């Protein structure tokens, strides 16, 4: 079973924001190794300070309502096409200045951004969509929220 991993960021005003992605690792040791690879990739493209990482093992027998996300932080809305043929949001908290293009777009050709997206590829260890983990096939759009 894949393990949900929650990354908690803190901005300069001490506000927290979180993002949860899925490691395909089936053990805590495997998920920790996956985190060790993804954390520097996030650090390279986000100005938010990565404060902590929480790996969750959960009973999938019960359904729980999704938790509402924070609307306080600045955010990049990234839409990706996944291997299951659906579009998903892969929001990036507090995108680094180097990723911001004129007009509110995100630089999807940036090497650090590409490395981050590639970590969710079919041959890699990260997935999005916690309920039915899937790999990223391509980036459809990436915009700075205004």
pTM above 0.75, yes or no: no
Give the whole-angstrom CA distance, residue 43 versus residue 46: 5
Task: Supply the pLDDT for residue 69.
Answer: 45
73 pLDDT band, cuts 50/70/90, is low
58 pLDDT band, cuts 50/70/90, is low
Token duo for residue 85? 């043929």
- Identify each DSSP E strand in 62-127 by its residue range: 75-82, 87-89, 92-93, 126-127
């Amino acid at each position: 079973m894949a393990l949900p991993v929650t990354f908690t960021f803190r901005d300069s005003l001490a506000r927290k924001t979180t993002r949860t992605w899925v490691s395909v690792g089936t053990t805590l040791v495997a998920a920790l190794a996956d985190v060790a690879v993804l954390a520097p990739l996030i650090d390279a493209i986000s100005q938010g300070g990565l404060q902590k990482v929480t790996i969750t093992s959960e009973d999938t027998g019960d359904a729980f309502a999704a938790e509402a996300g924070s609307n306080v932080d600045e955010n990049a809305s990234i839409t990706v096409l996944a291997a299951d043929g659906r579009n998903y949001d892969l929001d990036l908290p507090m995108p680094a200045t180097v990723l911001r293009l004129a007009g509110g777009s995100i630089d999807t050709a940036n090497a650090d951004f590409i490395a981050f997206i590639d970590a969710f590829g079919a041959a890699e260890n990260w997935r999005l969509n916690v309920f039915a983990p899937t790999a990223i096939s391509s980036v459809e759009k990436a915009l700075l929220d205004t």
